[in-house]
Amino acid sequence: MNEKDFIEKMVDIMDTEEDIQMETVLEDIEEWDSLSYVSFMAWCSKTAKTRVEPTEVRGAKTIGELYQLIIR
């Protein structure tokens, strides 16, 4: 998955119209909430090549850090 596709998926998961980039800080996105977190975890379990741990997702600060979790 490339960065553009990942950003599009994150916009869909968060159901936001904000301009999101890889550098976007998660806590600056109002729609990054517990529902988005759970949706992201569910999507990861189907998409990621490796297991993504909840603590890793909670530790991510940017969209790019979430991306790194699924492409490793």
| Residue ranges of the chain with per-residue pLDDT less than 70 | none
Residue 72, pLDDT score: 83
What pLDDT score was predicted for residue 56?
A: 96
Nearest partner of 22 among 33, 39, 10, 34, judged by Cα: 10
- Going along the chain from its start, the domains and CATH numbers come out as 3-71 (1.10.1200.10)
Instruction: Give dist(CA 48, CA 33) in Å, integer.
Output: 21
Distance CA 6, CA 21 (A): 10
User: What's the pTM value of the predicted model, to 2 decimals?
Assistant: 0.92
